[in-house]
Amino acid sequence: MIRSLATLMVSGALLAGAPVSAVTISSGFDTFVREAAPNTSYGGGARVEWDGADGGGQNHALLRFNIFQSEGGPVNPTALGSIANLRARLQLQVVNPGDGGSLYRLTTPFVENTSWNALGGSGVVPGVNALGSADATAPAMGIGTYSIDVTSSLQAWAATPATNLGWGILPAGNNGLEFASFESGNGPQLILETATDYVTRGVAGSVWSYYDAIQPPPAAGSGSYPTDALGQDWRDLTFDDSSWASGPGQLGYGDGDETTTVAPGNITYLFRTTFLAGDTPDELWLELLRDDSAVVYLNGIEVLRDNLPAGIIDPTTTASGTGPENNLGTFGINTAALLPNQLNVLAVEIHNASRWSSDISFDLGLSGSSPLALAAVPEPGTGALLGLGLLLLALRPGSPTR
């Protein structure tokens, strides 16, 4: 009996300290609540949704992951404190496209059979059953796999694990969005990574050279992309853009929120920036703010086309539609286009929906990420149990003496 107890304690300690090579968390629970059906729960369905106007009311999504060992997850929160460049990414499989939403950390727990009224009769209310400000914003999304940076939420929960009550997601518009639930078998994932930022957004971020002089073509002619004195393409790394103006993001005109203002009245605008990269990461992520559409090139290779038609693009090509204003999305791109341990160039063309569009907007971030190599830290007290287990094992009848 003593031997069995000791063996159990030793095995438990070894399992608790086993390495976790890539932290992808796929367990938890999710549901949504409907104002139009305030006493109905939707926790067992294959889809979760948020919507600003569904049957006369709003829908709010609820989502929580089992992150920490204390709640059945793989991570001891103390193991996260010493990791530089930690990044947490929420990955959703969107099955019905729609408007974006805002993720608020909940301050009131929920369960699978939670209904609108169970949350107090008003759904998710910032400052009441959730924090007063959002941790993250999800963009408008089409069908497919999308990622949202939720690092700030993870850091807050790691500091106080008991506050991990999940998110309430509030709709940004009336076009409802649905994503696959845990019950679907293709549910949400929380991916923990180490990340390196190559290009950053915002006024304190990367500086972009820009070209805003592609005038709309006359009836008998057409606009053209610029080349430098050596005839090099504007997307090339060695292209001379020293004559271009420059400034940090957000770049554009017409909205009043620009840090760098470009000349209005054209269809197409060009932007370039360079950066140094180290070793090739496992994944590359673009965070793109665009209005109305964009093509992104990395070292001359097209890596993303958003809201533009297929085929050849020229300066007269207009966006496929106006779409959401100032759309911000995160996109995975091919790492093969990156030049490791040397200088790289990002070149972006923004296209208006028409020559007479009242505004354009552009900003971009680029980061590389690799799976988090995390050694799980044993739960408090495991070391003491291990020592006791070894002592009991040594004292069992028939144990060799020294």
> Which domains does the chain show, CATH number per domain?
1-17+378-402 (no CATH), 19-197 (no CATH), 201-366 (2.60.120)
Q: Which pLDDT belongs to residue 222?
A: 53
Mapping DSSP to helix (H, G, I), strand (E, B) and coil, where does residue 31 land?
A: strand
Q: Which pLDDT belongs to residue 330?
A: 84
Which pairing describes strands 177-180 and 47-54: parallel, antiparallel, or unpaired? Answer: antiparallel
Residue type, 223: G
pLDDT in tens, the chain (402 residues): 222 222 222 222 222 233 344 689 999 999 999 999 999 999 999 999 999 999 999 999 999 999 999 999 999 998 887 788 899 999 999 999 999 999 999 999 999 999 999 999 999 999 999 999 999 999 888 888 888 999 999 999 999 999 999 999 999 999 999 999 999 999 999 999 988 999 999 999 999 999 999 876 653 345 789 999 999 999 999 999 999 999 999 999 998 999 999 999 899 999 999 999 999 999 999 999 998 899 999 999 999 999 899 999 999 999 987 666 677 888 889 999 999 999 999 999 999 988 888 899 999 999 998 887 665 445 444 444 444 344 333 434 444 433
Residues 6+ apart with CB under 8 A from 280: 335, 338, 340, 368
Nearest to 96 by CA among 187, 176, 188: 176
Quote the tokens at residue 146: 């999308």
Quote the tokens at residue 395: 């004292």
* Torsion sign, CA atoms 76, 136, 208, 315: positive
Q: What's the Cα-to-Cα distance from 28 to each of 64, 108, 128, 400, rounded to whole Å?
A: 6, 16, 23, 47
Rounded to an integer, what distance in angstroms lies between the CA atom of residue 216 and that of residue 354?
10
The full DSSP string for 56-100 is TEEEEEEEEE--BGGGT-SB-GGGTTT-TTEEEEEEEEEEE-B--
Nearest to 292 by CA among 330, 254, 261, 244: 254
The full DSSP string for 173-218 is SSS-EEEE-GGGTS--EEEEEEEEEEE--STTS-EEEEE---PPPP
Rounded to an integer, what distance in angstroms lies between the CA atom of residue 144 and that of residue 184?
15
Nearest to 284 by CA among 348, 339, 338: 338
Rounded to an integer, what distance in angstroms lies between the CA atom of residue 126 and that of residue 149?
20
Mapping DSSP to helix (H, G, I), strand (E, B) and coil, where does residue 168 land?
A: strand
Residue type, 325: E
Cα Rg of the chain (Å, integer)? 26
Q: Which pLDDT belongs to residue 67?
A: 96
Q: Which pLDDT belongs to residue 52?
A: 97
* Torsion sign, CA atoms 218, 222, 223, 229: negative
Residues counted in the chain: 402
